[in-house]
Amino acid sequence: MTKDDPNNEASSESRPTAKKAKGGIDVVEATDDRLVERLRERFGDAIHSAVIMVGQRVVVVAVDSLAEVLTYLKSGDELKFDLLLDVTAVHRPAETPPFELVYQLCSTSTLERVRIKSGIEDGASAQSVTGIWRTANWLERECFDMFGIVFEGHPDLRRILLPEGWEGHPLRKEYPVEFRENRWVADTLNIHALPDDADFSGKVEI
């Protein structure tokens, strides 16, 4: 299938990135892919779409069956995706659902790779995969810290890079990149916003 094919599942399902705008990259339906076939066979409708993008396999999964799919990928018959490289999320406020969880898997024996994605509502929680891969512990904590996505079943879900008591989740799109007054900074570090008539010329003798 070509990138302009309107029947491409990637655009109709919850696959928000693949805007088929001109100049977009080729997104090919993963039709004769063994892994995808097996996933479809086993999970049926829970597999929303499966595409090949820049030579990489991307499978979009319903969030409810995410943990099952990942468990199957890790320990299912011959798959053995034993290395979880990354857990992260993407925030797209304009889409529904607004968040997308992204898992990068790799197999150290077959060296195959796959990216599993899953849309998730703001405020909804995902199943933690710490029971499947121990490495998910910090990665999920970071995801929670940055996006506020709650992982159910995580042994120790708290902020990791930002201090306890910080307000907001910085990688959400509504969080500004500029400095804004912040209660944590004011209380803990005693740093307050400069007054409006502050001299920014840098010509202050110290």
Partner 1 sequence: MASDTPSAAAHVFEQTEMLLNMGPQHPSTHGVLRVLLKLDGETVVDLDCDIGYLHRGVEKICEHDTYPMITPYFDRLDYVAAVNGDLVYVEAVERLMGVELPRRAEYLRVILAELQRIASHLLWLATHALDIGAATIFLYAFREREEILKIFENFTGARLTAHAFRIGGLQWDANPEFVRDVLAFLDILPGRIDEYETILSENRIWLARTVGIGVLTAADAIDTGLTGPVLRGSGVAYDVRRAAPYSVYPEFDFEIPTGDTGDTYDRYLVRMQELRQSVRIVRQAIEGLPEGSVMAARVPRVIKPPAGEVFHTNESPKGEIGVYLVSDGTNTPYRLRVRPPCFVNLQALKQLAVGHLVADVVALIGTIDIVLGEVDR
Partner 2 sequence: MSERRSIGSVLSRLLLVDLFKGLAVTLRYNARALVEARDGADPTQAIYTAQYPKERPLVGERWRGAPKLNNDPRTGESLCIACNICALVCPVDVISVGQANREVRDGEKRKKKKVLTTFEFDTSRCMFCGLCQEQCPTLCLELTQEFELAVESRAGLVWDREMLEKGIHVVTYKK
Residues of this chain that bind partner 2 (CB under 8 A): 201-206
The interface partner of residue 204, options being partner 2, partner 1, none and the CB cut-off 5 to 8 Å by kind, is partner 2
Between residues 52 and 62, which has the closer beta carbon with respect to partner 1?
52
Alpha-carbon torsion, ordered 23, 147, 175, 160, to 10 deg: -130
CA distance 116 to 80: 15
Nearest C-alpha neighbor of 16 from the set 178, 173, 139:
173
Q: Per-residue x/- mask for partner 1, residues 15 to 54, rule CB under 8 A?
A: --xxx-x-xxx-x-------------------------xx
Of 25, 79, 92, nearest to 56 by C-alpha is 25
Q: Give which of partner 2, partner 1, none residue 206 binds (C-beta under 5 to 8 Å, depending on kind).
A: partner 2
| Phi and psi torsions of 200, nearest 5° | -100, 10
Nearer to partner 2, 45 or 205 (CB): 205
Options 61, 72, 142, 149; binder of partner 1; rule CB under 8 A: 142
Pairing of strands 113-120, 56-61: parallel
Rg of the chain on CA atoms, in Å = 21
Binding mask 166-185 for partner 1 (x = CB under 8 A): ----xx---x-x--------
142 binds, among partner 2, partner 1, none (CB under 5 to 8 A by kind): partner 1
Residue 6 sits in the site that holds partner 1 (CB under 8 A): no
Calculate the alpha carbon distances from 131 to 32, 46, 145, 155 in Å.
Answer: 31, 21, 20, 9
Residue 205 C-beta: closest distance to partner 1, Å: 29
As measured in angstroms, the least distance from the Cβ of 63 to partner 1 is: 19
Residue showing tokens 């302009």: 4
Q: Which own/partner contact pairs does 41-45 have at CB distance under 8 Å and 24+ positions apart?
A: 42/72, 43/68, 43/69, 43/72
Which residues contact partner 1 by CB under 8 A? 17-19, 21, 23-25, 27, 53-54, 56, 58, 82-86, 88, 90-91, 102, 104, 106, 108, 111, 113, 115, 133-139, 142, 146, 159-163, 170-171, 175, 177
